[in-house]
Structure formats: C-alpha cells, structure tokens
Amino acid sequence: MTQARFAVFDIDGTLIRWQLFHATVHHLGKHGFIPADAHERIKQARMEWKVRTIDEGFEKYELALVLEYLEAIKRITPEQSELIYQEVFDEYKDQTFTYTRDLIKDLKEKGYTLIAISGSQNQIIQKLAKHHGFDIAVGATMEQIDGKYSGKITTPIFDKAKALQRIIDEHDLLVKDSYAVGDSKSDAPMLEMVDNPIVFNPDKKLFDIAKTKRWKIVVERKNMIFELESRGSAYSLL
C-alpha cells in the first residue's frame, strides 16, 4: 500500500481570517454568558493590543480571553455551547485567505492527506475540516464531568509537533514532500518536521525563526499575495 503525502495547516489566521477562539468568546458575551466586569477586562486588553502600547499586547489579550472562556464554559451546558460553536462556524466558515484556500484545493487534487491542527474548539474545527475537505482534524477539547464542563481544557497548541507525529504514525503518512502552513511561534515545531514549510502572515516571533531557517514566507494583504523566498541573508519577492 502506497503511503500518502500530507499537508498540515494551522487554522486561525492561516485559513480563517480571524481567530475562532476569539469569535467564540465574543458570541458567549453576546448571549450573556460572560459578565460585564469580565467583558470590560477583555475590552481593555483588546484596546492595549490595538493601540500597541505594549509589545506583548496580543498575548495579553489572548490570555484574558482564555481565562474568561474557562470560567464562562463552566456556566453553560454542552448543549448551549454547541449552539455557540454552530454560530461561529456559520459566520466564519468561508471567511478564508485566498492563498491557503487555493493551496488546500491544489494539494487535495494532488492526493495529499489534509490535516488541520488548531487550538480552537474541536467542535468548530471538525465542522470546518469537513467543509473545506480536510481528512483529519484535531482541536481543543473540554473535559466533562456528569454532563457539565469542568473548565479543564486539552489542546494541541502547546505541542503541535507531538500531535502531528501521532497522526503520521496512526495513518502511516509519508513525510517526504510534505507541507505545513502556520502563522505563529507555536507552529514552528510543526513546520520544522516537513519538507515544505510555509510561513503565512507570520507574527514577529515566527518571522524571526523563519529567517534563521530560511523558510518560505507568504503574506496576503488586501487583494495581494506576496511570496518571499530566502536568498542567503535576505528574502526576495517571487
């Protein structure tokens, strides 16, 4: 039996134009599952990021979201959360970047096994995977005890390389000629595992790693796509 080549994608900010986790917290707030004081903390962290008053503004904003999400999820039932996840999927499923959307289609036609690994909620990731033709998808899961969320989360985001290796082993996938696409530092170990790493709209930390590794960088801005390849100590536009 011939081994299949694979292409693995981060989802938030790589395929989907926004962060699905952020959108989930927003929808929880819209439905009243996040109290006013928590909403204000999120708003303040978001504004600090938007006005760039501190270097780690985005990380601080994400931390605020995570903390409030883990509290909010304990106040709702799994059935209520499914409605939230469906809303987020319906709103964002086709808000994609052109480059990665077309790359997914191209690699699918070439017979690649498509993998999605994301820190967003597994329920949304599974829906997106099916919608966009992925074969395998892994997202974050929430522990349930007696039909209620405990607030404990299991996520692949802290070790995407381990999650990817498990998939490779389970499905006997071929690493040669494989692809990986990511946009943040947490994607770097995953990118390092493949023959064709693509750094897409990177944050500064991943950009610095990409320069050291001489990985291909792609930037999609408005209706333009810029593909950059390493030429020694600098990058050139293709």
Is the domain spanning 1-17+96-238 CATH 3.40.50.300? The answer is no
pLDDT at 86: 97
Q: Look up residue 50 and give its DSSP letter.
A: H
Residue with tokens 């999605």: 116
pLDDT on residue 1: 59
Q: How far apart are CA 8 and CA 204, in angstroms?
A: 21
**pTM for the predicted model, two decimal places:** 0.92
What pLDDT digit, counting tens, does each position of 79-133 carry? 999 999 999 999 999 999 999 999 999 999 999 999 999 999 999 999 999 999 9
Centre a 10 Å sphere on the Cβ of residue 98 and count the other Cβ atoms it contains: 11
Torsion-angle region of 7 (φ positive above 0: left; ψ -120 to 50: alpha; else: beta): beta
Q: What is the pLDDT of residue 63?
A: 86
Handedness of CA 117, 183, 114, 18 (dihedral sign): positive
Burial per residue of 111-134, b for 16 or more beta-carbon CB atoms within 10 angstroms, e otherwise: ebbbbbbbbbbbbbbbbbbeebeb
The secondary structure element, H or E, covering residue 216 is strand 216-221
The structural domains of the chain, with segments of one domain joined by +, span 1-17+96-238, 18-93
In this prediction, residue 68 carries a pLDDT of 87
The least confident of 13-22, 43-52, 70-79 is 43-52
Would you place residue 167 in the very low, low, confident or very high pLDDT band (cuts 50, 70, 90)? very high
Query: What is the model's pLDDT at position 3?
Result: 83
Length in residues, the chain: 238
Taking phi over 0 as left and psi of -120 to 50 as alpha, with beta for the rest, 177 belongs to left
* 53 vs 203, higher pLDDT: 203
How confident is the prediction for the chain on average, in pLDDT?
93
